[in-house]
Amino acid sequence: MAPKNLNRIINQIDDLPTLPRTVLKITELVNNPKSSARDISSVITDDQVLTARLLKLVNSSFYGFPQKISTITGAIVLLGFDAIRNLLLTTSVFDMFSSRSRENRMIQESFWDHSLGCAIGAKVIGTYLRYEKVEELFVSGLLHDIGKIVEMLFLPDDFTEVRSVVKIRNILMITAEEEVLGFTHPDVGKLLAEKWNLPLKLVNILEHHHQPEQAGRFVQETSIIHLADILCRAIDLGSGGDRKMPSLNSEAWASLKLKPNVLEPILQEMEREFQDISWVVTGK
């Protein structure tokens, strides 16, 4: 299926969620050099749910600050504007897609657990690599499979067929998507990220996380998500929708320059942080 047809399908989904107003407003303020921490804090504190979740997140083991952070302004000063925007997106995304179907809710929760595991894995790998903006990696991991959720909720018959092909032939979901739909969840994720006006780096990561060598100047970030996805599957954090283990891209592994002996401690840290943070992010 040609990309123009995929665009037409996505454009017909009138109910596709837009970013919450709070996140959009924060994005505007972050992009405005005249904005202050107080300006951003006043917008966030108008939403009590986001305020509570954000404070829980910044006080979790994800950051490990020695002192308790009790105000949004304090969080902004410590973390910076970009990090706060990314964390707001993190705390919002789980509420943006919901299904009334009990079966779909179970599938969706399993997908979210996998996505959260990938997000944590990306953050842990980024820390080993001394990557400066680990929040960006966290959000990228969280959203890497968002296209699957869109397919499930807005193309339910096609998605059911994809799942059937995956189960019968025991193949990767991305392979079944290509055969059944003519496009894949990275294609859908890219379009959704563009609809939300997310940064170009994130758009590229969502589009190429199965083929990181095609991510151009964002190859390192995309390779981190690629590896985190595989490690997440290795320790069964949620489900990516299939029972196959994707092959580790050799160019991605070479670009990260990691030694094999760091993988075991990375896996252990992923499991520990998943237990610590999952209830904070998902609200479960």
Residue 163, pLDDT > 80, answer yes
**Average pLDDT of the segment spanning 80-109:** 75
pLDDT of residue 276: 72
pLDDT of residue 281: 60
178: Cβ–Cβ under 8 A, 6 or more apart, which residues?
Answer: 184
266: Cβ–Cβ under 8 A, 6 or more apart, which residues?
Answer: 121, 124, 125, 128, 231
Residue 279's pLDDT band (cuts 50, 70, 90) = low
205 against 134, higher pLDDT: 205
Q: How many other C-beta atoms can be found within 10 angstroms of the C-beta atom of residue 83?
A: 21
Residue 4, pLDDT > 60, answer no
Give the Cα separation of 138 and 158 in Å (integer): 30
Q: Of the ranges 9-23, 85-99, 136-150, which is most confident?
A: 136-150
Nearest to 138 by CA among 154, 160, 117, 122: 122
The 10s digit of each residue's pLDDT in 168-209 is 999 999 999 999 999 999 999 998 888 887 889 999 999 999
Residue 263, pLDDT > 70, answer yes
DSSP 232-251: HHHTT-S--SSS--PPPPHH
**Average pLDDT of the segment spanning 76-89:** 83
Can you read off the two tokens belonging to residue 168?
Answer: 């019968």
Residue 71's pLDDT band (cuts 50, 70, 90) = very high
Percent of the chain having pLDDT more than 70? Answer: 89
91 against 115, higher pLDDT: 115
pLDDT of residue 136: 86
Percent of the chain having pLDDT more than 90? Answer: 49
Domain spans of the chain? 18-96, 99-284
Instruction: Tally the C-alpha atoms within 13 A of residue 245's C-alpha that lie toward its C-beta.
Output: 12
pLDDT of residue 64: 79
Give the Cα separation of 72 and 262 in Å (integer): 35
Which DSSP category does 155 fall into? S
**130 conformational bin, left if phi > 0, alpha if psi -120 to 50, beta if neither:** left
Give the Cα separation of 103 and 139 in Å (integer): 26
Give the Cα separation of 172 and 242 in Å (integer): 6
Report the b/e string of 180-192 with b at 16+ CB within 10 A. bbebbbbbbbbbb
**Average pLDDT of the segment spanning 241-268:** 94
Task: Give the CATH H-level superfamily of domain 99-284.
Answer: Hypothetical protein af1432 (1.10.3210.10)
Residue 1's pLDDT band (cuts 50, 70, 90) = very low
Report the b/e string of 123-138 with b at 16+ CB within 10 A. bbbbebbebeebbbbb
pLDDT of residue 69: 92
43 against 284, higher pLDDT: 43
Give the Cα separation of 144 and 108 in Å (integer): 14
E-assigned strand segments in the chain:
none
Instruction: Tally the C-alpha atoms within 13 A of residue 169's C-alpha that lie toward its C-beta.
Output: 14
